[in-house]
Structure 1
Amino acid sequence: MKILVRNLDRTVPEAELLKLFQAYGTVASCTLVMDPVTKKSKGFAFVEMPHGREAIKAIKGLNTLRLHGHGIRVKQAEEKPTDAAPSEAK
């Protein structure tokens, strides 16, 4: 399950975020989104947890957690829509 983590303090390192999620189970990936120009955190990240039950526990356990003075928001990431479905003929 892909998880979106928002409202991160821009000083939170990826390793710290990874450790928080590993307390709930297996983490396949943890990626802080960085600004390509400044190379600094944009304040959000994506975490991939392969086991749904563990991911749900992580979401419930970490949502609104205060981290570096910020209440983080954790939820299941929504999939980006690919191409629009063709319209049905009437």
Structure 2
Amino acid sequence: MKLLVRNLSRTITEHEIRTLFTEHGKVADCNLVLDKETGQSKGFAFVEMPNDAEASVAIKALNQSTVDKSKIRVKKADA
């Protein structure tokens, strides 16, 4: 299942996001979206988890949680 993670702190790293989601299951891919000009985070990322049950647990656990002083939003990404 591909997840969309929004409202991320601009200073968070891809590694930190991967670590956060790995607590809830296997992460196949993590892609923090960066601004092409500045190289800084745009505040959202995509996380791919191969096990749908683990992805659902991650959504329930992490949606509306506070990470690095930002209340993040996690949902299934639109296809």
TM above 0.5, yes or no, is: yes
Higher relative contact order (Cα pairs below 8 Å, separated by 6+ residues): 2
Query: TM-score w.r.t. structure 1 length?
Result: 0.86
Say which SS state the counterpart of residue 39 (structure 1) adopts.
coil
Match of 1:35 in 2: 35
Q: Alpha-carbon deviation of 1:68?
A: 1.2
Say which SS state the counterpart of residue 16 (structure 1) adopts.
helix
Unaligned runs of 5+ in 2: none
Say which SS state the counterpart of residue 31 (structure 1) adopts.
strand
Q: Percent identity?
A: 54
Q: Alpha-carbon deviation of 1:34?
A: 0.4
The residue identity in structure 2 corresponding to 1:26 is: K
Number of residues paired by the alignment?
79
Q: Alpha-carbon deviation of 1:52?
A: 0.2
The residue identity in structure 1 corresponding to 2:3 is: I
Match of 1:22 in 2: 22
Root-mean-square deviation (CA), in Å?
Answer: 0.5
| Structure-2 separation of matches of 1:10 and 1:72 | 12
| Structure-2 separation of matches of 1:24 and 1:3 | 13
Which consecutive aligned stretches of 4+ in structure 1 deviate over 2 angstroms post-superposition? none
Cα deviation, 1:32-58, whole Å, max 9, x if unaligned, reads: 000111111000000000000000000
The residue identity in structure 1 corresponding to 2:21 is: F
Structure having the higher strand fraction is: 2
